[in-house]
């Protein structure tokens, strides 16, 4: 049986990864310090082959027995989080990645780094290919996340080149789905919670900036395909269907039937104006592309948020 270690296992994507790997017959060890993770995300895994360890991965990671793969997902990932937690964000990207890589090296395991489209910054190339080096402000407010992930990629690549570690890098584009937090700060949960409670829907900037939204099950499928592949170069995983922030807000208004009105606020510093993955590498090397359409994905997510708000 394959034993998989997932850092950040109680987070949004980490919990879905844990569940998907259990469904594939793996044994999963989930590690999280619960800084932004939530035990409710993994409570349903308690009676399965899932071991949870509360631990800060910026400290040495000890796991008994063999390990097939280490998936490093620990990090604040929402602008609200990394603006409030700049030092922990930098530490988990640097020290946490170093400790997770050390575990993979000690166990002879393969390693998968959760990187992000934010390594491209406010891009001057569109859509973004993996060969693009990015346009990032290292001293801007978003730099703590962007540069933490860029450093994590550099360290992961160094372990691959110097130690021969079988390391993979997934650059994740905007992803949404159940288990996102109500007040996560990202577009889909923010708009859904506002629409469902009748609050104004807050758009930053003109709303004409673009994003590409991928449903979480599609993302997880791509991550697992990458884990099982012999690919070591970075791979974009995301939905190439580009749309404006205003379009996604109006789609959520329509689905909820909400009477909320849209209001506009100033655009935060260094907020990317466009975001769209070129997924040629994922298509050709992994045979992957997204399958869940926007309306279907939003409907599933809306069901989750409606239930969560009723329980709140």
Residue 292 has φ and ψ, to the nearest 5°, of: -85, 120
- For residue 64, the model assigns a pLDDT of 96
Ranges of the chain whose pLDDT falls below 50? none
Q: What is the CATH number of domain 3-176+214-239+276-291?
A: 3.40.50.720
Q: What pLDDT, on a 0 to 100 scale, did the predictor assign at position 180?
A: 96
pLDDT in the model for residue 49: 98
pLDDT of 223-260, one tens digit each? 999 999 999 999 999 999 999 999 999 999 999 999 99
Structure confidence by residue, pLDDT tens digits, 11-61: 999 999 999 999 999 999 999 999 999 999 999 999 999 999 999 999 999
What pLDDT is attached to residue 270?
Answer: 84
155: its two tokens: 């360290």
User: Which residue blocks in the chain are alpha helix, DSSP H?
Assistant: 12-23, 79-84, 86-91, 97-107, 143-163, 187-197, 216-228, 245-256, 280-281, 294-311
Residue count of the chain:
312
CA distance 151 to 75: 13
pLDDT of 312: 72
130-238-160-58 Cα dihedral, nearest 10 degrees: 120
- Predicted local distance difference test score (pLDDT) of residue 124: 96
pLDDT in the model for residue 104: 98
All residues at 6 or more sequence positions from 272 whose CB lies less than 8 Å from its CB, including other chains = 118, 120, 121, 122, 123, 209
pLDDT, residue 8, reads: 98
Report whether 229 contacts 272 (CB < 8 A). Answer: no
What are the sequence ranges of the domains in the chain? 3-176+214-239+276-291
The yes-or-no answer on residue 68 being catalytic is no
Q: Phi and psi of 16, rounded to 5°?
A: -65, -40
Distance CA 213, CA 294 (A): 8
How do the residues of the chain divide into helix, strand and coil, expressed in percent and rounded to 5? 40, 20, 40
CA angle 117/122/127 to nearest 5° reads 60
Strand 3-7 to strand 69-72: parallel, antiparallel, or no bridges (unpaired)? parallel
Nearest to 189 by CA among 312, 73, 298: 298
Percent of residues, the chain, with pLDDT higher than 70:
100
Looking at residue 95, the DSSP 8-state letter turns out to be I
- pTM of the predicted structure, to 2 decimals: 0.97
How buried is residue 262: exposed, middle or buried, by Cβ count under 10 Å (0-12/13-18/19+)? middle
Of the residues 82, 120, 145, 176, only one is catalytic, namely 145
């Amino acid at each position: 049986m394959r034993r998989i270690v997932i850092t950040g296992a109680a987070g949004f994507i980490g919990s879905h990864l844990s569940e998907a790997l259990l469904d594939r017959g793996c044994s999963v060890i989930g590690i999280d310090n619960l800084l932004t993770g939530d035990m409710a995300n993994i409570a349903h895994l308690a009676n399965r082959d899932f071991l949870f360890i509360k631990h800060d991965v910026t400290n040495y990671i000890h796991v008994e027995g063999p390990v097939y793969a280490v998936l490093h997902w620990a990090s604040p990932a929402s602008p609200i989080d990394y603006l409030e937690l700049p030092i922990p964000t930098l530490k988990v990207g640097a020290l946490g990645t170093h400790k997770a890589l050390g575990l993979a090296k000690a166990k002879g395991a393969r390693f998968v780094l959760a990187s992000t489209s934010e390594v491209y910054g406010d891009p001057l190339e569109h859509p973004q290919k993996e060969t693009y080096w990015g346009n990032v402000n290292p001293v801007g407010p978003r730099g703590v996340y962007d540069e933490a992930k860029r450093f994590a990629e550099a360290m992961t690549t160094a372990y691959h080149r110097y130690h021969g570690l079988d390391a993979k890098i997934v650059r994740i584009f905007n992803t949404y789905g159940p288990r996102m937090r109500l007040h996560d700060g990202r577009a889909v949960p923010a708009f859904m919670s506002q629409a469902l409670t009748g609050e104004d829907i807050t758009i930053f900037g003109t709303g004409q900036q673009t994003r590409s939204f991928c449903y979480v099950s599609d993302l997880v499928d791509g991550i697992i395909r990458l884990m099982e592949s012999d690919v070591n170069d970075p791979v974009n995983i995301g939905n190439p269907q580009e749309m404006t922030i205003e379009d996604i807000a109006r789609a959520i208004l329509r689905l909820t039937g909400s009477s909320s009105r849209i209001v506009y606020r100033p655009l935060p510093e260094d907020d990317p104006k466009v975001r769209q993955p070129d997924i040629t590498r994922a298509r050709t090397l992994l045979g992957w592309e997204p399958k869940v359409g926007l309306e279907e994905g939003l409907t599933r997510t809306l069901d989750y948020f409606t239930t969560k708000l009723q329980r709140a």
